[in-house]
Structure formats: structure tokens, C-alpha cells
A = this chain, B = another copy of it.
Amino acid sequence: MRRLRMGMIGGGPGAFIGPVHRLAAEMDREIELVAGAFSSDAARSREAGAAYRIDPARAYGDVAAMLAAERSRKDGIDFVAIVSPNHHHLPAAKAALASGLPVICDKPLTATMAEAEELARLVEEAKLPFAVTYTYSGYPLVREARARIAAGALGTIRKVVVEYPQGWLAGGAAGKQAEWRIDPSRAGLGGCIGDIGVHGFQLAEFVTGLKVSEMLADLGSVVPGRVLDDDCSILLRFENGARGVLLASQIEVGEMNALRIRAYGDKGGLVWKQETPGTLTLHSLDGRSELIHAGGSQLGPDALARTRTPNGHPEGYLEAFANLYRDFAALLHGEGAPLLPGIAEGLRGMRFIATAVEASRNAAGWVKL
């Protein structure tokens, strides 16, 4: 079977997440990057194209040009990956969908809630595959955690704690990656909440299979001069009455990317940590504690199919990301990818962000989600 051909929007010189998408998309050789509108500056787009080693003729200076030119090729792109800052997501996705192309889009879905709702309508009308790269749901042991909870290993879920501490925005300037994330005109509504808080939110719902029904948000802008939030503390209630806490921060000096989820039911508990992603700890009410290893014989089929090496051979962030692209390829091949986050999860994430920002600004206490 031939490889699917990807066109990238965004990911120009200096970008972080563009190269990650490229690498992840191609990891399993089901997809190939062949074209890109990497930058709205044509020279910079060509520079990026050269770095990605694609055909120079297919490094375009704008999205419309890429879509038009690729449509006219026999070997034109099969889908578009959107990896630009948040405020570009809607126009890029709109153009791609209008051009009849499936889309895989980085999170958060858009910069504003209104954009998100518009995009959701467009996706519904277009009836085209659309995925959102909530990276952490691609980890094998996150899939395993979800499967174990779905199978009742924890009983009825009572409590969920998700923490996402980072420290890289604790100081002043931190380079290009920091720049747009702290600028409302590019990042949109949320700072920390949109950059990492939404990952935690999606992970909590993904792993437990439960929806958050209410929340109480306390967002702060801690670093002097910062406009957007950089520290978030959120209390949660889930639809079944379970209690939850979601903490995200980018000013906790020394923390790297320490996303951690813990879920507890009336029969057991589990813990997974992103920085040591190859181990899932399961506890049961009778006092037993078990370690589940990525690549090991205790894994269920979904998780096992998403590890590439035997246990003890660490896989990490890039492999988790690649698992989302593997799902996306399956989706495009019509095989289905029930666990791949789509437009609904993208929209829901935006609702979470918007609700948190609004409720926190108004000190609104508990609000519905």
C-alpha cells in the first residue's frame, strides 16, 4: 500500500512542533511529508522545505497556493497537517476542508471559542476526517489505563487528579517557542490553560471515559508583565459525581514536562507519569500494587499494538505522537480509529479553555461545562 502524502501548514524555521509532526507522521512509514506552506514568507517556507528535504517546488508561500498546486498533481497531498500557532488553525483548516482534504490539527483547536464553533460546523458539513493531536492520549500505557478502567479494574471512579507542571516560562523571555504562547493575539484565549491545561483535561476524560460536568477555575498570571495565564488550579466534578483536580503551571522552576494522572475508584487506583511513560502502576483495594510495563506481556491489545520495541527499550513522546498519526492513517484508510481525538474533542477542549478563562476572570465559582 502506498504511503499517504502529507502537506504541512506551519512548521517553518525555528518551529518546535512542526518537525515533531513530520517525524511522528513518518515514523511508521505509512505517511510521507511531500509539501508544505511552512511560512507565509515564501523564502522562509523554501528554507523549511529544504530542511525537511522535500521537493523545492512543493514548499509554498501560502496555503491557498499549496492547495491549488497540489490538487492539480497526480501525486498531490492526501491530507493537511496544521502545526502553526493557534490563530492560524481556523483559516488553514477552512481552506483545506474546502479543498476536500482531511485535516489533522495541533491543539488547542483554535484561538477562540467562536472560531472553534465555526470550525466544528465546517467539519460537520465537509464530512471529512479531522483529528486533533492531543499527544498524551497516544501513549501505550495511557491506552492501557483507559482499557483497564473501562474493564472495571478500578470500580466506580471517585477521584481524578491530573497535574501538569512545567517551569520553562518562569523566567523572562524564553525564545521563539515562548513568544507566541504568551501573546494573546497568537495564542488566543488561554496561555498555560491552552498550551498544557487542555492536555490534562483531555487526558482526564480520555482515561476515565467520564465527562467533566462542572469546574471551578483559578488562573493566574504570575510572571510580571504577563497577560495570559501561566498558572492554573482547577477543581472538577465529573458526570458520575466523581471529584477531580487539574493543576497546570508553567512557572514551577525545575519542572520539565511532568504530566501525571491518577485515578481512583472504589476498587482500585492507577498512576501514570509522562516522564517515565513506560510504567503504569495499578493498586487494588486489598493492598496489592502491580507494575505494568510498556511492551510487556500484561498489556492489552490496544496498548501492545502501539509499542514498537520489547519492554525495557524506552519509547517516549515521539512514539506517542506517532501513534496518533498511525490512528489517523487508519482513519484515512477507512479502518476506523475510535480512540483518535477528533473535532468533538477539539471543540470540547476549547469549551474547557473558554470556560476556565471566563470563570476565573469573574471569580464565578463552580460553573457548568
Contact = CB atoms under 8 A, between A and B. Distances in A.
Nearest to A290: B290
Interface in A161-219: 161, 165-168, 170-171, 216, 218
Nearest to A286: B297
A319 interface: yes
A222 B317 contact: no
B257 A312 contact: yes
* A-B interface, 6 closest residue pairs, ranked by CB to CB distance from nearest: A254-B283, A256-B312, A257-B312, A314-B316, A287-B297, A253-B269
Given A159-B252, A254-B270, 14 more contacts: A26-B26, A158-B231, A161-B247, A167-B283, A218-B235, A233-B245, A253-B266, A253-B283, A254-B264, A254-B282, A254-B283, A275-B314, A309-B317, A309-B318
Contact of A29 (B26, B269, B296, B366): B26
A121 interface: no
Interface stretch (A15-23, A84-92, A126-134): A15-23
Number of copies: 4
Contact of A53 (B2, B158, B168): B2
A333 interface: no
Contacts of A256: 293, 295-296, 310-313
B309 A313 contact: no
A284 B233 CA distance: 23
A298 interface: yes
Contacts of A247: 161, 245
A218 B220 contact: no
B218 A312 contact: no
Contacts of A19: 308
Nearest to A243: B220
A306 to B, nearest CB: 13
A285 B251 CA distance: 10
A288 B298 contact: yes
A294 B128 CA distance: 39
Contact of A269 (B235, B252, B285): B252
A158 B222 contact: yes
Among A256, A276, A318, residue most surrounded by chain B Cβ atoms (within 10 Å): A256
Given A243-B231, A312-B275, A290 B291 contact: yes
B289 A293 contact: yes
A253 B268 contact: yes
A304 B168 CA distance: 17
A239 interface: no
Nearest to A166: B312
A11 B318 CA distance: 23
Contacts of A298: 287-288
Contacts of A249: 159, 264
Contacts of A289: 254, 290-291, 293
Contacts of A57: none
Interface in A249-267: 249, 251-258, 262, 264-267
Nearest to A252: B264
23 contacts: A23-B308, A27-B27, A30-B53, A154-B253, A159-B222, A159-B251, A161-B247, A166-B312, A170-B264, A251-B264, A253-B283, A254-B271, A255-B269, A255-B283, A256-B296, A256-B310, A275-B312, A275-B314, A276-B276, A287-B293, A291-B291, A313-B317, A315-B317
